[in-house]
Amino acid sequence: MISIEDFVEDIVGKAMRGYKISVQDLASKSGASSTSIAGLLNGKIDEATIASIAPHLNLDPESLIIAGQKSWYPEPVNVKGLEMYNTKWADMYVNSYLVWDSTTGIATAFDTGANSEKLIETVRLNNLTLESIYLTHTHTDHIADLARLKSSFPSIRVFVSEKEPLAEAELIEDRHNFSIGSLSVKSNLTWGHSKGGLTYVINGLERPIAIVGDALFAGSMGGGMVSYMDALKTNRKYIFTLPDHTVICPGHGPMSSIGEEKKNNPFYPEFKK
């Protein structure tokens, strides 16, 4: 089973950095002690502290406590025409995906992860035609095996956001539409973690699919390395407006769904029902 990417200390740390709130400032605002907040950031779970600080970081207290308890994990996803690859990069794991149209055998890869061997094997075992690689963003862990994937399929085309140019990749704009056989795909700019982060929304399989890169994780989100506020804003606009049964395919951690994220993601309290 693929581990959840972020625990409560990661979530709180990302929110504090995003809002530029220090431990001392958060203690002053919330009434929790600096010692208890520092302990929380080091993995010492204190539900009273979590409940006190959550509103001051615009986090949902209930979801944050559940994250602290480690009591939630998304429902397993099994969609024909979608395969996930979870490969080790340095001290972490990163995901890549293969999506294909079963009627035509045409396939597209999304990112490469640290090792694309299994993805290549899937293509060959299923006699698929891998036409393209679409990148969610250009952080090293997501494109680490691009050279191998390209050399394995010499005619393949590589696409990336125009905001993150990459040698030998074709540049695409926000809201770029394309197809994978009979499947339709639309890209939306979900930036903030990176300058040109793209979410690819795929329709035509048994469930809608959203390849989100590091914009969103199961129960969390990528850090706002470029702009925390824009990461929140674009996720709300382009990801959380998708149908609840849409499968979320993140860059790290397990797959999830829009419905589950509305219930369990602390960063988006306004979607709680």
Instruction: Report residue 62: phi and psi, to 5°.
Output: -65, -45
**Cα-Cα-Cα-Cα dihedral sign, residues 56, 58, 62, 65:** negative
Could you read off the pLDDT of 29-87 as tens digits, one per residue? 999 999 999 999 999 999 999 999 999 999 999 999 999 999 999 999 999 999 999 99
The topology (CATH level 3) of 82-271 is Metallo-beta-lactamase; Chain A (3.60.15)
Burial label for 89, CB within 10 Å (0-12, 13-18, 19+), is middle
Residue 269 pLDDT greater than 90, yes or no: yes
Asked which of 13-17, 44-48, 180-184, 204-208 is least confident by mean pLDDT, the reply is: 44-48
Question: Domain residues of the chain, as ranges?
Answer: 8-69, 82-271
Give domain 8-69's CATH superfamily: lambda repressor-like DNA-binding domains (1.10.260.40)
Strand 209-213: give its sheet, edge to edge.
Answer: 177-180, 183-189, 198-203, 209-213, 247-250, 256-257
